[in-house]
């Protein structure tokens, strides 16, 4: 894995560090022995130059706008595959044969119900609770209901927990939604696909069944594929960090959900749609003002310095869904106009700010009938597959250690305690 060295000179002493090669992408300097040999740490807030692990799941080339899962381009997966197949690919490493796929789909389907007592737990939330707060709570609570899959040293239990998480997320997400509406929970139906079942659990009521439109089912499935994994982003790193201490998978995924909620991450899709169209010019002006911390939601990415490949698929899907729903959403036209302004504006060009996945997803979800506060929940549902796959990869990695960064201490040096009466 290593064929060249990086030389570092510290206080006149020259030290060699191996440079490791991945299969593709930037090489990394192996500094694991840096502290032991020099007494120095590296400083990298936000981990902009730090590889925290090795991983065979997802590859991103941010400059070229490339996203591959296990080598397969995201556009091919979004157009030709299904979310369940991508889940299998991420979890198991290869695309399944028909037989393997049928078995996997059956397994996931047979885990879609949640323990009935969970409904009582969920009803303890205030009706006006944000569904992401409900998700943080109920997903963490799964560890109190499924003790037989929390021993992380047992590969079989890890697999069962992974299947449970992927299978139960749609049920819990739909329950959070139904609860916010004051409608009864809808139980899963195993004769439907993963995605059709989810849409039905969200939109059917006991008085009237919901017939899932195949175009909407496909659009939802594509949204799930586009959000399934994204290498070491903030929430995935959170899941890995939580898992590195040996915490159970349900608790780790709850930690990932908490991180995803922030507007700089998954919460951006909700924030993007909360920008009223008439204020777009003012928003662009604010985004460009150096003295204003305002950010244009749905634009920019830590890794992509080119068009987010997921946003391209999303734009086409948004058009299809609006047509099927017969919705003439002015937001879509505004979004396209905004995209054109930004793509030609000096500020956005210079800073390489392109629309990201969250720019169009909100338009699709709102046309389907989801309120904005459900958008991040849907992101969490899909990303659970990636989180679980990354968590499994980490636990099985013989080089895995508890995640424990160091710091550059800038506080007071040692001093003596002064009793309160003498201060
Ligand atoms: N609007 C205006 N200016 C921006 C924006 C934006 N959306 N994003 C970055 N910039 C500017 C920023 O002010 C900075 O300028 P300067 O160099 O003069 O200080 C420069 O571009 C680089 O930004 P940064 O903050 O150093 O970049 P980062 O990698 O730390 O942040 C980001 C990435 C996604 C947090 C940021 O672009 C952002 O806040 N975007 C809006 C929120 C959003 O849409 N998030 C969804 C990300 S995609 C879905 C997901 O994976 O979560």
3-state helix, strand and coil shares in percent for the chain, rounded to the nearest 5: 55, 10, 40
Pairwise CA distance, residues 20 & 24, whole Å = 11
| Structure token pair of residue 125 | 């939330």
Q: Which residue has the least CA distance to atom 4 on ligand 1?
A: 295
Which atom belonging to ligand 1 lies closest to the Cα atom of 308? Answer: 48
CB contact burial 309-343 (16+ within 10 A = b; e otherwise): bbbbbbbebbeebbeebeeebebbebbbebbeebe
Alpha carbon separation from 44 to 27, 406, 410 (Å, rounded): 17, 10, 15
352-381 in b/e form (b: 16+ CB < 10 A) is: ebbbbbbbbbbbbbbbbebeebbbbbbbbb
Q: What tokens does 187 get?
A: 């139980």
* Per-block mean pLDDT, blocks of 10 residues, the chain (423 long): 83 94 96 94 96 97 94 96 98 98 97 96 94 96 94 96 98 97 96 97 95 93 96 97 97 97 81 72 86 86 86 87 80 77 85 83 88 94 98 95 96 97 96
Length of the chain in terms of residues written: 423
pLDDT score, position 343? 82
What sections of 60-191 are H helices per DSSP? 74-80, 83-92, 98-109, 117-122, 131-145, 155-181
Q: What is the pLDDT of residues 299-323, one digit of tens each?
A: 888 888 888 889 888 888 888 888 8
Strand order in the sheet with 72-73: 58-61, 66-69, 72-73
Indicate which residue's Cα is closest to atom 28 of ligand 1. Answer: 302
**How remote is the CA of residue 47 from the centroid of ligand 1, in Å?**
15
- Distances in Å between the Cα of 121 and the Cα atoms of 87, 125, 126, 139, 140 are 29, 8, 11, 11, 12
Which pLDDT score is estimated for 398?
92
Nearest CA to ligand 1 atom 17: 351
Pick the residue whose CA is nearest to atom 26 on ligand 1: 302
* Euclidean distance between CA atoms 54 and 14, whole angstroms: 27
Structure token pair of residue 248: 């159970």
Measured CA to CA, the distance from residue 284 to residue 254 in angstroms comes to: 35
Q: What's the CA angle centered on 12, arms 8 and 13, to 5 degrees?
A: 55
Alpha helices in 345-374 (DSSP H): 346-350, 357-368
Cβ atoms of 264 and 294 closer than 8 Å:
no
Compute, in angstroms, the gap from residue 351 CA to the centroid of ligand 1.
9
SS3 42: coil
Q: Which of 301, 308, 329, 333 is catalytic?
A: 301
- Let me know if 301 is a catalytic residue: yes
Known catalytic residue at 358: yes
Give the Å distance between the CA of 49 and the centre of ligand 1.
17
Q: How far is the centre of ligand 1, averaged over its atoms, from the C-alpha of 353 (Å)?
A: 8
User: What ligand 1 atom has the least distance to the C-alpha of 46?
Assistant: 30
Tell which residue, 97, 25, 86, has the closest CA to residue 55. Answer: 25
Cα–Cα distance for residue pair 57/393, rounded to 1 Å:
9
- Give the pLDDT confidence of 260-305 residue by residue, as tens digits: 999 888 777 777 777 776 777 888 888 889 899 888 888 888 888 8
Phi, psi dihedrals of residue 150, rounded to the nearest 5° = -115, 0
Distance CA 51, CA 30 (A): 10
pLDDT of residue 327: 77
**Closest residue CA from atom 48 of ligand 1:** 356
**Per annotation, catalytic residue among 221, 229, 308, 358:** 358
* Predicted pLDDT at 323: 85
Q: How far is the C-alpha of 172 from the C-alpha of 377, rounded, in Å?
A: 10
Helix (H) or strand (E) holding 316: helix 309-325
Task: Tell the residue nearest (CA) to atom 41 of ligand 1.
Answer: 297
Q: Which of 300, 342, 362 maximizes ligand 1 atoms within 8 Å of its Cβ, making it the mutation to test the pocket?
A: 300
Query: How far does residue 300's CA lie from ligand 1's centre (Å)?
Result: 5
Residues facing 258 on adjacent strands:
none
* Ligand 1 mean position, distance from CA 229 (Å): 20
Query: What confidence score (pLDDT) does residue 1 get?
Result: 55
**Which residues touch 251 (CB under 8 Å, ≥6 apart)?**
140, 143, 242
């Amino acid at each position: 894995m290593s064929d060249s060295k990086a030389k570092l000179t510290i206080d006149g002493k020259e030290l060699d560090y191996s440079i490791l090669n991945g299969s593709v992408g930037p090489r990394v300097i192996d500094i694991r022995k840096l502290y032991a040999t020099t007494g120095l740490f590296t400083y990298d807030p936000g981990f902009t130059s730090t590889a925290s692990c090795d991983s065979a799941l997802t590859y991103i080339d941010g400059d070229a706008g490339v996203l591959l899962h296990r080598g397969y381009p995201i556009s091919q997966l979004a157009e030709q595959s299904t979310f369940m197949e991508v889940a299998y690919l991420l979890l198991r490493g290869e695309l399944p044969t028909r037989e393997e796929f049928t078995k996997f789909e059956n397994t996931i389907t047979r885990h879609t119900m949640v323990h009935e007592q969970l409904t009582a737990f969920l009803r303890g939330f205030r009706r006006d609770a944000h569904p992401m707060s409900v998700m943080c709570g109920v997903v963490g609570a799964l560890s109190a209901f499924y003790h037989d899959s929390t021993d992380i040293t047992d590969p079989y239990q890890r697999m069962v927990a992974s299947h449970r998480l992927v299978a139960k997320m749609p049920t819990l997400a739909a329950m959070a939604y139904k609860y916010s509406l004051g409608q009864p929970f809808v139980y899963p139906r195993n004769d439907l696909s993963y995605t059709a079942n989810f849409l039905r659990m969200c939109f059917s009521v006991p008085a009237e069944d919901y017939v899932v439109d195949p175009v909407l089912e496909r659009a939802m499935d594509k949204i799930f594929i586009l959000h399934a994994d994204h290498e070491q982003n903030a929430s995935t790193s959170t899941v890995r960090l939580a898992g590195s201490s040996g915490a159970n998978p349900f608790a780790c995924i709850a930690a990932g959900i908490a991180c995803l909620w922030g507007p700089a991450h998954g919460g951006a899709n909700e924030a993007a749609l909360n920008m009223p169209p008439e204020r777009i010019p003012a928003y662009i002006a604010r985004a460009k003002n150096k003295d204003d911390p305002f950010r244009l939601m749905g634009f920019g990415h830590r890794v992509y310095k080119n068009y987010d490949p997921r946003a391209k698929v999303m734009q086409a899907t948004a058009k299809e869904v609006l047509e099927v729903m017969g919705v003439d959403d002015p937001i879509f036209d505004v979004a396209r106009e905004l995209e054109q302004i930004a793509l030609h504006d000096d500020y956005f060009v210079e800073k390489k700010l392109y629309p990201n996945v969250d720019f169009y997803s909100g338009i699709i979800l709102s046309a389907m009938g989801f309120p904005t506060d459900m958008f991040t929940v849907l992101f969490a549902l899909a990303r659970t597959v990636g989180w679980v796959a990354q968590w499994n990869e980490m636990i099985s990695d013989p080089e895995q250690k508890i995640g424990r960064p160091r710091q550059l201490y800038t506080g007071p040096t040692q001093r003596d305690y002064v009793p309160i009466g003498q201060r």
